[in-house]
Amino acid sequence: MESPFKHDILKGKVALITGGGSGIGFEISTQFGRHGAAVAIMGRRRQVLDAAVAALREEGIRAIGLEGDVRKQEDASRVLEATISHFGKLDILVNGAAGNFLASPEDLSPNGFRTVMDIDSVGTYTMCHEALKYLKKGGPGKCPYKGGLILNISATLHYTASWYQIHVASAKAAVDSITRSLALEWGTDYDIRVNGIAPGPIEGTPGMRKLVPDEMTSRTREYMPLYKLGEKWDIAMAALYLTSDAGKYVNGTTMVVDGGLWLSRPRHIPKEEVQKLSRVVEKKLKTSNNGLPSSKL
């Protein structure tokens, strides 16, 4: 799909995207590059990084791949230093690295719970912490009057509750809290904007393949107000908005991009039955109010 944004909306910017070699992260990397940014992607699998960088460079995008684990402070520091060494600065940090799998609480070990917390929440904070000196106004290679941007990829699982996702819901709740706290403190002290995106079910992603079997996809669509799955492009467009000057006054918010799914519930009564019940109630109201229509009550 054609982007609604100008092709140079991120011209001159440098972005580091964790988990940027596949899925939503790779689409964000691609769209950032197509809109003028230089891109560094961080991940744990060298083969995935190399393939992603090759694809980006084929489009003429300036890109590098840096191997590292967001849970390790030394890896975070090394990757950030390498990004600065290669591109000279850092304007945007996208925390997209995440872990997920289905498990009921009684079958989920504390170690499994901790692993997801470490990748999603501790990893997000670690990257933010190590990036601060490069993102704050007056940092290395920065304009002295303007800070950088942080974008954290979250979810909506913790807004209510989700089956078999207690570990991820807990981790993403922490991510949202990190987003708000850093937006308050670093926005005030360093002019850094911090926001998040909470994607819904996005087709063609590793997450959908792991969490929703093919035979369940059609049922998932039935529960969605827009009756369709999202695309990776949808998340990347939200990321462009939040990291560009179009979103320059947005700070501390997590944008839900899920087609309204988190608001929805299965229909317990078919619409036709509801209409029948409504007519019965309307008739009773008219009778009990001496013929006055309900609109006059």
CA–CA separation, 269 and 8 (whole Å):
50
Task: Count Cβ atoms below 10 Å from residue 166 Cβ, excluding itself.
Answer: 18
**Residue written as tokens 């570990």?**
167
Measured between its terminal Cα atoms, the distance across the chain in Å is 51
pLDDT for position 206: 61
* Confidence category of residue 297, pLDDT binned at 50, 70, 90: very low
pLDDT of 79-111, one tens digit each?
999 999 999 999 999 999 998 888 999 999 999
CA–CA separation, 123 and 116 (whole Å):
10
Q: What are phi and psi of 280, to 5 degrees?
A: -65, -45
* Confidence category of residue 149, pLDDT binned at 50, 70, 90: very high
- Both structure tokens of 281: 């109630």
Q: What are phi and psi of 44, to 5 degrees?
A: -95, -15
**In Å, what is the CA distance from 249 to each residue of 10, 16, 241?**
17, 22, 11
Q: Output the pTM of the full model.
A: 0.86
CA–CA separation, 65 and 207 (whole Å):
22
DSSP 153-212: E--STTTS--TT-HHHHHHHHHHHHHHHHHHHHHHHHH--EEEEEEE--BTTSHHHHHHS
pLDDT for position 204: 62
Amino acid identity, position 154: S
